[in-house]
Amino acid sequence: MFILCNPHNPTGRIFTREELQRLADICIKNNVLIVADEIHGDLIRRNQTFTPIAKTVDNDCHIITFTAINKTFNTAGLHCTNVIISDPEKRQNFSETLGMQLPSPFTIAALIAVYNEGEEWLEQLNEYLDGTMEYVKNFLAKNLPTVKVRIPEGTYVMWMDFRGYGLSAKEVHDRIYNKANVLLEDGEMFGVEGEGFQRICIPSPRPLIKKALERIAAEFKDVESKSLLKS
């Protein structure tokens, strides 16, 4: 089994059609089932295009796709995920293993409502997220230029690199969580490669993001000054 996360979390990378086709070809050749987590597929940044991997192949019987409304429409409490399995045998095995799972009436109503009437809201959301990400990028460039960040191709998370300060991951955590009183997510939760990174989710109102960044900047002011002197 190959588990694909596209758009990727936490980096926000959207894989190209060519990359997805190549991946599918390799998996088909080696009899590897692809499980595609495409839950962030609606949250695409400006001028980007998202392609579901099932659309890159002629026969998607070797692909299981997961989508959901929980990230896009902030309905995680409804516990609703769409599982798309085109192969009848795999679908039967999945149903027998999972058992009968009935969503609540609230979940069904929400699912129908957002798919039928939520497009305009989603467009406004993505526009607002684009603006907030621009704000975060510009704020860091002005106040914490040692912290490296880029606007992702998809998702609503930004992957911030604090390694330029030469601090341990533990000290970065302490400054942000305990001193600035801001709750981000340590990069280590995504594996050893994430050490020194912080993940920030930015769907919150922009004034709240501004306040969080100002608190963080205040706690890193001393090491930022030293970093600028070295450069």
Measured N-to-C along each axis, helices 119-143 and 206-219 cross at an angle, to the nearest 10 degrees, of: 20
Q: What is the pLDDT of residues 114-152, one digit of tens each?
A: 999 999 999 999 999 999 999 999 999 999 999 999 999
- What CATH architecture is 2-117? 3-Layer(aba) Sandwich (3.40)
pLDDT at residue 231, rounded to an integer = 63
> Looking at residues 214-230, what average pLDDT do you find?
88
Confidence category of residue 102, pLDDT binned at 50, 70, 90: confident
Map out the domains of the chain as residue ranges: 2-117, 120-230
Answer yes or no: is pLDDT of 99 > 90.
no
Answer yes or no: is pLDDT of 167 > 80.
yes
Mark residue 191 as left, alpha or beta (left: phi above 0; alpha: psi -120 to 50; beta: remaining): left
pLDDT at residue 98, rounded to an integer = 87
Distance from C-alpha of 78 to C-alpha of 104, rounded to nearest angstrom: 8
| Average pLDDT across the chain, whole number | 94
Q: What is the pLDDT of residues 51-73, one digit of tens each?
A: 999 999 998 999 999 999 999 99
Q: Which of these, 80, 74, 196, 53, lies nearest to 129 by C-alpha position?
A: 74
Q: What is the CATH number of domain 120-230?
A: 3.90.1150.10
Q: Output the six-digit token pair for 171.
A: 């000290």
